[in-house]
Chains A and B, each alone.
Chain A
């Protein structure tokens, strides 16, 4: 349970300044606003033939672009802060397993990201005057997708912080590995927003769950090599 204390330390430091959380939320908000300006009136046009509005087809993509880009902000700072003043050395000296450091970081990153998502979804609904068909289903998809994002992202964030280019490298190496998650999360989110039939997205949910489990286990095994020196 040592990882709870590491997560607690991170969250306590974060909630004192709320630096990261604020910038993630405002960034996600801005992404939604930019899309609402960019698509403007066109988003409410009804597409003849399939009887759906343009926004129905764009919505899952807009949501996940906001989530991944804002989440990337949080991830890139997650280990960069530890690099300053030798905090990472202090963490490594703690009498805990290396994977506990990873689990603690995962937990604190996930809390920040869920907070950002919980705020972003209502903003999206208001700005696009949009109705969600199946809210529990959407939350399940967002939960699974975010877990995948955080599991891989935290590991690669620890990897990227040790390189020369640091924050610039993280998106470049994270997005290709994440694309399977984004691909299935966007498809599943689209179904949840439009029809809300949970039986239609069982394939995507399975894939997301398998991806989450694989990366959680792989990260436990290889994390210690990313911070070793």
Chain B
């Protein structure tokens, strides 16, 4: 193993370790009673304890946006440079992003059941745009599946990754644009003072951001190994 490879390996291990530690801390902070449960009905209806989902739901949603932004950026980079590494990054970010978008819907539904009484509110703009976002990146994976040639697959999926990014600003802006057509609240947090709520939120946010990055790095590694195996197979056949 060369020097740079060992250094890369070390930094990956540090990343994974940091993620694990932060995840544990964040879970402890949420469930230990350190983080407050707002009692005002504006912030949480139903069982006040359901507010704890906030610490998972919001960071997961934002990190899904981050993953999709990576798909968009690496799509642009691929079309400019035609280097395969950008395609691998886009695929990894899309797969992780789809999982996180799905988890956003699941955690939101559980919270909605407790706070609003139903898992899903039909014709609610925020819920619909989040669902659309999930569907767009599902079809991104469909596009990848439908093309066999690696170069063409990378090119076409990069185009779709750029087009599909429209879902992210739309989902993010939906509660601000159509605040009448949704019962989903906007998180109005006072970031200037370090209250326990803000601190817990930030620790959770950092934990989920690191988790997304670790998963993407993990998936990229996976794809590179797959690439190597394919290369070896081709050599054997020749």
Mark A residues whose CB is within 8 Å of B.
152, 155-156, 159-160, 162-165, 169, 172-173, 175-177, 179-180, 183, 203, 207, 211, 214-215, 218, 222, 225-226, 228-229
> Could you list which residues of chain B lie within 8 angstroms of chain A, going by C-beta atoms?
79, 125, 128-129, 132, 135-136, 138-140, 142-143, 146-148, 152, 155-156, 158-160, 162-164, 166-167, 170, 177-178
Q: Are A163 and B79 in contact (CB under 8 A)?
A: no
Which residues of A are found within 8 Å of B160, using beta-carbon distances? 156, 159, 173
Main secondary structure of the interface of A (DSSP, over half): helix
> A225-B79, A225-B158, A226-B159 given as contacts; is B132 within 8 A of A173 (CB)?
no
Q: How far apart are the CA atoms of A175 and B164 in the complex, in Å?
A: 11
Residues in chain A near residue B178, CB distance under 8 A: 203
Query: Given A159-B159, A177-B166, is A222 in contact with B132 using a C-beta cutoff of 8 Å?
Result: no
A180 near B146: Cβ-Cβ < 8 Å = no
A68 vs chain B, min Cβ distance (A): 15
Measured CA separation A189–B74 after assembly (Å): 38
Given contacts A172-B139, A179-B128, A222-B79, contact A162 B162 (CB under 8 A): no
How many residue pairs at the A-B interface have CB separations less than 8 Å? 78
Q: Please name all residues of chain B whose beta carbon is closer than 8 Å to the beta carbon of A165 when the two chains form the complex.
A: 146
A226, closest chain B residue (CB): B159
Q: Which B residues touch A211, using CB under 8 A?
A: 166
Contacts of A177 on B, CB cut-off 8 Å?
Answer: 136, 139, 163-164, 166-167
Tell me, rounded to whole Å, the shortest Cβ–Cβ distance linking A184 to chain B: 9
Alpha-carbon distance between A152 and B163 when the two chains are bound, in angstroms: 8
Q: Are B155 and A215 in contact (CB under 8 A)?
A: no
Shortest beta-carbon distance from B68 to chain A in Å: 13
Residues of A within 8 A of B166 (CB): 177, 180, 211, 214-215
Taking the closest CB of chain B, its distance from the CB of A199, in whole angstroms, is 15
